[in-house]
Chains A and B, each alone.
Chain A
């Protein structure tokens, strides 16, 4: 059984962590061929060839693949599909843009955000933002699957896969790239950060949200926010953690002034260690917290920063 894995390549560089995590999941399905596609992708392909468990790498370089536009990328993958039973990728926004398009071109269902592989046809995935886990069995001849990276360990290095260059599909020229605006921040990216510090409505204002950011910087963490904090204008929406925002599963999640509405819990309850600081001891966040501190956040957070040294 052969698996084609779409590597995460951004501006020619391989996102090693996301790709290596997807490799771990993909090796349960069969022999893994990695596809590195981009305007320049040779370096990314060479790096992917070193991931343990990868047996072959395909490198497709073409200007049309430069910014992972869905139409040319999906056309490329659909053209390669006949050799593979599984077409997979890490569940990034890029892959979620491309894979359902590939699946429809092949007349099969896509299986998004898979959190466990049961067998070659059967997968576990969270539904209702993780409030339930569903096991689904595909009857399609080909399976198009994205893997939720937070639940798989990254494959190690030491591989030495062969690398083959292939050509891109004809560009349907339906869309063109204009620009990328990478969030300018020295902080880690929210969905892959090892530590996340989030603030809620209890923080009270945009100015006071600085306190959350300072604590995050102290811990080398990404900053998150509840929907209530975003709706109140304390924090930008791309910081939102929850069912309608981002789903995170860091080693440490610190929830400050967050009551713990269902929709927020859905976005962070798979974190390894959860700390909650809230002055309301009845707040539902304490039901999921490993360590709860009932305190005024304006006293507790500065003291915490000081004691963390």
Chain B
């Protein structure tokens, strides 16, 4: 079985984001970028499936600016076999919307015929939480979102999902799309020899036009602002004072 894993280049999760002065978005120039943390978990899960003999090839794909090549190399260093870079934007500040990404991925799926697509449940930049579900709809496939456990067995997969208030377990028909949540696994670090080897693994370059997909956004960004800052608080001197303040505020 071939596994396709879409990965996204996003601002590193430890970096404090800064809103650009003109309100057009968040400043991404000269900021540390990394693979979306949820996508790292998806790559790791694909590698574990391969190690368990349930997958034979892992193809990673990234859609965006040419710098996404670095993200793909990271996935290759972790253990993916080959990569596809779909150039869809020139400016690092251009975010390709989930609908357009899903349409391109649907074309990649047609070409590659994977038995499983493993994706992060959301990207930590636009937080839309949509691409996997949208791809599933476009393909008419089943979906198992927010997975904390995955067991692929022949033409079915059992997916345990993180839902509000607990867990839900479902069985889905293969081929399927599974979007992964944090608890699924702990991604490995790429070793130096593997980073060197990854440089020689195949990486195909394509464009959105190659797939005939229009990536014009449906959502116009009107403005981007800093959230309202919280009013300055106070340091209390004792537990008594804290309890007093909380009672005053009606909080306890």
Contact = CB atoms under 8 A, between A and B. Distances in A.
B225 A132 contact: yes
A300 interface: yes
Contacts of B170: 67, 69, 175-178
B145 interface: yes
B116 to A, nearest CB: 14
A133 to B, nearest CB: 5
A136 interface: yes
Interface in B206-248: 217-227, 230-231, 233-236, 238-240, 242-243, 245-246
Given A103-B130, A130-B227, A286-B233, A175 B144 contact: yes
Interface stretch (A52-60, A91-99, A202-210): A91-99
B165 A178 contact: no
Interface string A101-134: 1111101111111000000001001111111111
A100 B166 contact: no
Contacts of B173: 173-175
A1 interface: no
Interface string B144-172: 11101000000000100111111111111
Interface string B177-199: 00000110000000000000000
A153 interface: no
Interface stretch (A37-45, A79-87, A243-251): A243-251
B137 interface: yes
Nearest to B132: A100
B153 to A, nearest CB: 13
B119 to A, nearest CB: 12
Contacts of B102: 104
Given A175-B144, A292-B235, A132 B242 contact: no
Interface in A237-258: 237-238, 240, 243-245, 251-252
Contacts of A245: 182
B220 A131 contact: no
Nearest to A277: B242
Contact of A304 (B125, B138, B163, B239): B239
B21 interface: no
A113 B134 CA distance: 16
Interface stretch (B10-18, B47-55, B58-66, B77-85): B10-18
A290 interface: yes
Contact of A136 (B19, B99, B220, B227): B220
A291 B238 CA distance: 11
Contacts, number: 246
B26 A273 contact: no
Looking at chain B's contact residues, the main secondary structure is mixed
A7 B121 CA distance: 23
A178 B158 contact: yes
Contacts of A61: none
Contacts of B220: 136-139
A182 B239 contact: no
Contact of B133 (A97, A269, A288): A97
Nearest to A242: B13
A129 B38 CA distance: 14
B147 to A, nearest CB: 11
Contact of B128 (A110, A129, A307): A110
A174 B134 contact: no
B114 interface: no
A109 B129 CA distance: 12
Contact of B233 (A70, A179, A290): A290
Nearest to A67: B168
A130 B124 CA distance: 10
A63 interface: no
Nearest to B234: A291
A104 B233 contact: no
28 contacts: A70-B133, A99-B133, A100-B129, A100-B134, A100-B137, A101-B143, A113-B127, A122-B222, A126-B227, A131-B16, A131-B17, A132-B26, A132-B226, A134-B223, A134-B224, A136-B219, A136-B222, A139-B218, A178-B158, A179-B169, A180-B166, A180-B167, A182-B166, A219-B252, A237-B148, A244-B38, A244-B124, A291-B236
Interface of A: 67, 69-71, 74, 92-94, 96-105, 107-113, 122, 125-140, 172-183, 189, 191, 219, 237-238, 240, 243-245, 251-252, 261-263, 269, 273-275, 281, 286, 288-295, 300, 303-304, 307-308
Interface of B: 11, 13-17, 19, 25-26, 37-38, 97-99, 102, 124-138, 140-146, 148, 158, 161-173, 182-183, 217-227, 230-231, 233-236, 238-240, 242-243, 245-246, 249, 251-252
Given A70-B143, A110-B128, A182-B165, 7 more contacts: A94-B163, A97-B143, A132-B224, A138-B219, A139-B218, A238-B162, A273-B249
